Chains A and B, each alone.
Chain A
């Protein structure tokens, strides 16, 4: 059973699991109809239109063996009730889903989509987070707090049902040629607002790698918490340059005020936790994932390159143009110097004469 099946990642997970012959039946659970773009993906998936609250009945009836909980929203959606609904879905939904899951005797596996936002981001944090790092302060931002609550519920669930293999996957921000998140939207614009005097370290995970990890955690037994991210780091300024965009440095205060305004007006959906991400950055250690799953996600740089290729329009300072400019300047300098030396020689000759 996959919750949040009408969403970008949930639908892909459901489709991928449905395509696997080792899995008999995949049921997607979502309170909303899937958007037309995802409907083709979900052909083999039985869809149940129900939210997590109604899941208890559904889950018991289906006798689910594995639950993949993907219905975790990272940003409030003004069309679906804003922050209130987001919290309802994230925290209350998870609570009810886990309560229902606890009562299903045949359940063997629980996979939760979490996020590295659980670590927060601040200047005091260690540079690299491992799964055991406790955030030094409760992260600000609604999403990060939701994630912490959700993970707390999973810890409780583990205690009550030790026979169920519970996998918590903390994903770095997703990126791919098709992914559509607040971060990818930001990098798709010709100008990217950044924070003046800060250069956050970013990590991404490719959607395909995330799907692979989710797939494996359903089929294989990997209880525990894992960071899922591409190895390596891109500095924000570096990412902006690689994308050929132009950075727009704003003072920190202005930056968060602007996003706050945008949030209120309903344009942007950048939460406070993402503002913190842009200021301080966040890097996680994926050694445990690689050891346990035997799978290495492609590096952050490679994942980002793929994204750039798909979003080439809107970039102004591309590598090719820079190279052309370099060549032009170099040629210009060479020509100038050649001319200079010729005139010098001529004047020397003139003196001699």
Chain B
């Protein structure tokens, strides 16, 4: 049983149901088989043989050796970086393990409908944005990478602000993000990458806690025209949980203008508790991928504002409806 399957069986899971007894099967009129009800209606599994453990000493030796080899590769610069600055090795070895801690243990994220994300070729994943800082984007990346059988990397499209700031811009580029502009989006999609975009932008992450789970305006629908031009399917995704991590009670506009930020949030913990206020509240996260919307037949309408607007609206409604569905599944924001 994998980690994910194990977690999905725990009572905290949104889809948890009490295990049903297996349907009894009579064999030659004898007693029903199986006698003992199995978990979740699964047929009696062959007990999987314990994987023969390699010598413990060797495991540690390998770990030390691979760790050192990794360090050496990093220091000697013998790794590959793609045109956008995406450093696959660094992402897999450093970023994802760190994000996984937040994803599993802090937010207890559950993912539904991962099968709607295509296994190969380009796709545009469009999500709702919330949570004051764009943690939802990072969690979505982790969800796609961890839950998808092909371990796909989601290439995020970020706001200008991200790439203006030092350190953040470096990390963003290395983790595969790029500036949200049509040339980059089209280049990524036409070369078969999975692109993640949050059309609400700052309107989404900077909204008050009172407006939670109300989708904001979807910009000019630039993401739709990019998808249409490349004929890439659009996968709407609804993310529940990010709204509660830093609930914005007020927005200090003058301070934001002074700092050149789109908003300056005041949450129950920030800025009162100083750096401690930066710790996100441990809400329960649900991520639902919706069935992809094909666009290949609309390629010639990429410049038709009506088509673009309608499609953007369709995506928006899908996400909003899915959000409400997910909220019903999760009555307690901070539940298990």
Contact = CB atoms under 8 A, between A and B. Distances in A.
Contact of B179 (A124, A325, A341): A124
B82 interface: yes
Contact of A201 (B61, B85, B168): B85
Contact of A199 (B71, B84, B85, B165): B85
Contacts of B69: 326
B169 A234 contact: no
Interface residues of A, number: 41
Interface in B113-131: none
Interface string B153-181: 00000001001111111100110001101
Nearest to B183: A126
Q: Which 6 A-B pairs have the closest CB atoms?
A: A197-B166, A241-B77, A197-B167, A242-B77, A123-B163, A126-B183
A239 B76 CA distance: 9
Contacts of A297: none
Given A127-B178, A240-B77, A319-B78, A235 B85 contact: yes
Contacts of B74: 241
Contact of B84 (A128, A240, A330): A128
Residue from the set A196, A198, A240, A325 with the largest chain B CB neighbour count within 10 Å:
A198
Interface of B: 57, 60-61, 64-65, 68-69, 71-72, 74-79, 81-85, 87, 160, 163-170, 173-174, 178-179, 181, 183-184, 187
9 contacts: A124-B160, A124-B163, A127-B187, A128-B83, A128-B184, A199-B170, A238-B79, A323-B72, A329-B68
Task: Tell me if A's interface is mostly helix, strand, loop or mixed.
Answer: mixed
Contacts of B168: 197
Interface string A193-214: 0011111010000000000000
Contacts of A281: 85
Nearest to A133: B183
A242 B166 contact: no
A326 B68 contact: yes
B163 A234 contact: no
A342 interface: no
Given A127-B84, A322-B75, 12 more contacts: A124-B179, A126-B179, A128-B183, A197-B165, A201-B84, A233-B85, A237-B77, A241-B76, A242-B78, A319-B76, A326-B71, A329-B68
Contact of A233 (B81, B164, B166): B81
B183 A326 contact: no
Given A241-B75, A322-B75, A235 B81 contact: yes
Contacts of A125: 179
Nearest to A237: B77
Contacts of B71: 326
Given A123-B163, A252-B166, A199 B72 contact: no
Interface string A119-156: 00001111110100100000000000000000000000
